[in-house]
Chains A and B, each alone.
Chain A
């Protein structure tokens, strides 16, 4: 068994260095494809965090005073449910607000440490019957006047635009990444084909003396997978670099601006990296398997 490992390592290495430029082209293509997929996932996750409150058609939030009486809260709830222009109004108690708050500021523990559930306001997340700026403005003014209400915050036009822009952006990036992945698959297949051609005499002898198909194929497959792994790791490095740049920008941004809530949680970046590594390796393995099955037959 030890001998086989030696053999596979030796042969894979020889294949990789036989045609360094093709190897480099393949690795770079995998790298760019992985990086693009990663960035698109980052954008998606950031926008989702920044606009977490405004998912599912919620257009404005009625924040109650933390010391509002139960009667005041009930009255606002009744008014909301009786208003024909309101489709749904979801009540959030202090604990739910606290959970949401922790989620939103997960990356700044020094900030969340000083906050307890009882200082947070309860709120109603409201979905109006129509997305019509005038109607929403009217509702906002109407509910801001009610007793016990501290503030009514509406999703701004900016948020709506950011959501649709980021959807378009990440879809575009994903499409480009898909094309590049296709190119990477073709290139990996091509490097393997070249390696197989360069070694056709050896392969002929191997078949004649009874080497199994998989024994012949493994070094070529390892070559392709290794290219995928190296490209994926470089791509993940790139994702971390991009994330670092974004984080610096976010920290410098005015705390009130929308950008300040564009946080990508470090656990999200980690999940994305694992996904990218797995995807890259899987893609390379499939490309290699197809190429060797196609070019090495008994």
Chain B
């Protein structure tokens, strides 16, 4: 599903964020990217949805070489990739259901699809009763659920999560992980960057560890270190 072949990413010509990274992720896998801040986890995620382009190497996503992808095709790549962030990136002036509907609206989905999909996905993430709330009226965990709903409403093949539990307390984090696990069980490939030791150790999934841009460990059913 995702393959990195000798990928090197350099920022501003000097800072090496990723060096000769080799990764092969199968469809339906759940993969943790671990490592200290600045080890290259976020860079790897940003390369996967072509927010960044590598200096060297090739990247395949869903069977396509995305380095070769012309820029007008990038949006169509991203429709297959959901993204979730530490800071949720919700729109404060839109309600919960408007935030989720927005993701379908702007890729031109018809109204009847939006009308049926949005409540269904919000039901799945456990927010059926809060459709009309605004983000500031929700707890951090609830906001992250909205952002997961938005990332998943278009049923992407891949879900990229960059420190999704970084701003949440341990109990809430566990709830979010259960949700991501459930999404993974529908066949969606999940790649999650995290430095939350507790969560990585509890889940016992594949772990890829990065240290200053170099992959130092790739272990099935691994722990944080």
Q: Which residues of A contact B (CB under 8 A)?
A: 2-4, 7, 201-202, 204-213, 215-216, 298
Q: Select which of A201, A215, A298 is within 8 A of B106 by beta carbon.
A: A215
Which residues in chain B, 77-107, are within 8 Å of chain A measured between CB atoms? 77-81, 83, 89, 91, 102-103, 105-107
Q: Is B89 in contact with A206, judged by CB distance below 8 angstroms? A: no
Q: Which residues of B are found within 8 Å of A210, using beta-carbon distances?
A: 75-81, 107, 154
Q: Which residues of A are found within 8 Å of B102, using beta-carbon distances?
A: 202, 205, 209
Q: Is A215 in contact with B78, judged by CB distance below 8 angstroms? A: no
Q: Which residues of A are found within 8 Å of B80, using beta-carbon distances?
A: 210
B138 interfacial by beta-carbon distance below 8 Å: no
B3 interfacial by beta-carbon distance below 8 Å: no
Q: How far is the CA of A214 from the CA of B80 in the complex (A)?
A: 19
Q: Which residues of A are found within 8 Å of B78, using beta-carbon distances?
A: 207-210
B13 interfacial by beta-carbon distance below 8 Å: no
B186 interfacial by beta-carbon distance below 8 Å: no
Q: Is A212 in contact with B103, judged by CB distance below 8 angstroms? A: no
Q: How far is the CA of A211 from the CA of B105 in the complex (A)?
A: 9
Q: Which residues of B are found within 8 Å of A201, using beta-carbon distances?
A: 89, 91
Contact A4:B75 (CB < 8 A) given known A202-B91, A208-B83, A208-B89:
no
Contact A7:B75 (CB < 8 A) given known A201-B89, A209-B154:
no
Q: How far is the CA of A73 from the CA of B69 in the complex (A)?
A: 81
Q: How far is the CB of A198 from chain B (nearest CB, A)?
A: 11
Q: Is A205 in contact with B72, judged by CB distance below 8 angstroms? A: no
Q: Chain A CB within 10 Å — which of B77, B107, B154 has the most?
A: B107
Q: Select which of B50, B71, B111, B150 is within 8 A of A3 by beta carbon.
A: B111
Q: How far is the CB of A195 from chain B (nearest CB, A)?
A: 15
Q: How far is the CA of A285 from the CA of B50 in the complex (A)?
A: 30
Q: How far is the CA of A212 from the CA of B111 in the complex (A)?
A: 18
Q: Which residues of B are found within 8 Å of A206, using beta-carbon distances?
A: 106
B63 interfacial by beta-carbon distance below 8 Å: no
Q: Which residues of B contact A (CB under 8 A)?
A: 49-50, 71-72, 74-81, 83, 89, 91, 102-103, 105-108, 110-111, 150-151, 154
Extra contacts, 16 of them, besides A209-B106, A210-B107 (Cβ < 8 A), are A7-B106, A201-B89, A204-B89, A205-B89, A205-B91, A205-B102, A208-B83, A209-B79, A209-B151, A210-B77, A210-B78, A211-B75, A213-B71, A215-B108, A298-B50, A298-B74
Contact A209:B107 (CB < 8 A) given known A201-B89, A204-B89:
yes
Q: How far is the CA of A210 from the CA of B76 in the complex (A)?
A: 6
Q: How far is the CA of A215 from the CA of B110 in the complex (A)?
A: 15
Q: How far is the CB of B109 from chain A (nearest CB, A)?
A: 8
Q: Is B91 in contact with A212, judged by CB distance below 8 angstroms? A: no
Q: How far is the CA of A225 from the CA of B77 in the complex (A)?
A: 31
Q: Is B105 in contact with A7, judged by CB distance below 8 angstroms? A: yes
Q: How far is the CA of A125 from the CA of B50 in the complex (A)?
A: 74
Q: How far is the CA of A256 from the CA of B106 in the complex (A)?
A: 67
23 A-B contacts (beta carbon < 8 Å): A3-B108, A3-B110, A7-B106, A202-B102, A205-B102, A205-B150, A207-B75, A207-B78, A208-B78, A208-B89, A209-B78, A209-B79, A209-B106, A209-B107, A209-B151, A210-B75, A210-B78, A210-B107, A210-B154, A211-B107, A215-B106, A215-B108, A216-B106
Q: Select which of B71, B77, B81, B108 is within 8 A of A4 by beta carbon.
A: B108
Q: How far is the CA of A210 from the CA of B103 in the complex (A)?
A: 8
Q: Select which of A2, A209, A212 is within 8 A of B72 by beta carbon.
A: A212
Q: Which residues of A are found within 8 Å of B81, using beta-carbon distances?
A: 210
Among residues of B, the one whose C-beta sits closest to the C-beta of A204 is B89
Q: Chain B CB within 10 Å — which of A7, A212, A215, A216 has the most?
A: A212
Among residues of B, the one whose C-beta sits closest to the C-beta of A297 is B71
Q: Which residues of A are found within 8 Å of B103, using beta-carbon distances?
A: 205, 209
Q: Is A298 in contact with B108, judged by CB distance below 8 angstroms? A: no
Which 6 pairs of residues, A with B, have the shortest CB-CB distance?
A: A210-B78, A210-B79, A211-B106, A209-B103, A210-B75, A212-B75
Among residues of A, the one whose C-beta sits closest to the C-beta of B106 is A211
Q: Which residues of A are found within 8 Å of B106, using beta-carbon distances?
A: 7, 206, 209, 211, 215-216
Q: How far is the CB of B118 from chain A (nearest CB, A)?
A: 13
Q: Select which of B50, B111, B150 is within 8 A of A209 by beta carbon.
A: B150
Q: How far is the CA of A54 from the CA of B81 in the complex (A)?
A: 73
Among residues of B, the one whose C-beta sits closest to the C-beta of A205 is B89
Q: Select which of A2, A205, A213 is within 8 A of B75 by beta carbon.
A: A213
Q: Chain B CB within 10 Å — which of A2, A202, A210, A213 has the most?
A: A210
Among residues of B, the one whose C-beta sits closest to the C-beta of A2 is B111
